[in-house]
Amino acid sequence: MRRCAKCGKKAQVFLPQHRLSLCGEHYIEWFENRVERTIREFRMFSRWDKILVAVSGGKDSLSLWQALIKLGYDADGFHINLGIGNYSEMSNQIALKFACKVGRTLHELHLAKEVMPVPDFRDYDKRPACSLCGTLKRYYMNKVAKELGYSVVATGHNLDDESAVLFSNALSWNIEYLERQYPVLPEENGFVKKVKPLCKVSEKESALYAVLSGIEYVEDECPMAQGATTIDYKLYLSQLEEKMPGIKLRFYSEFLRKLYPILKTQEQKAKLQKCKVCGEPSISDICSVCKLKIKISSRKYIHDQHGE
Comparing C-alpha atoms, which of 61, 2, 17, 26 is closest to residue 212? 26
Round to whole Å and give the CA distance between 269 and 185: 12
23 binds, among Zn ion, ligand SF4, none (CB under 5 to 8 A by kind): Zn ion
Site size toward ligand SF4, by CB under 6 A: 9
Round to whole Å and give the CA distance between 213 and 34: 16
Q: Which is nearer to Zn ion, 50 or 143 (CB)?
A: 143
One of 7, 171, 225, 283 touching ligand SF4 (CB under 6 A): 225
- 134 touching ligand SF4, by CB under 6 A: yes
One of 99, 153, 222, 237 touching ligand SF4 (CB under 6 A): 222
> How far apart, in Å, are the Cα atoms of 133 and each of 79, 184, 186, 212?
13, 21, 23, 31
- 130 touching ligand SF4, by CB under 6 A: yes
143 binds, among ligand SF4, Zn ion, none (CB under 5 to 8 A by kind): none
One of 133, 141, 215, 275 touching ligand SF4 (CB under 6 A): 133
Round to whole Å and give the CA distance between 103 and 159: 28
130 binds, among ligand SF4, Zn ion, none (CB under 5 to 8 A by kind): ligand SF4
Round to whole Å and give the CA distance between 18 and 20: 5
78 backbone φψ class: left, alpha, beta (φ>0; ψ -120 to 50): beta
240 binds, among Zn ion, ligand SF4, none (CB under 5 to 8 A by kind): none
Binding site for ligand SF4 (CB under 6 A): 82, 118, 129-130, 133-134, 222, 224-225
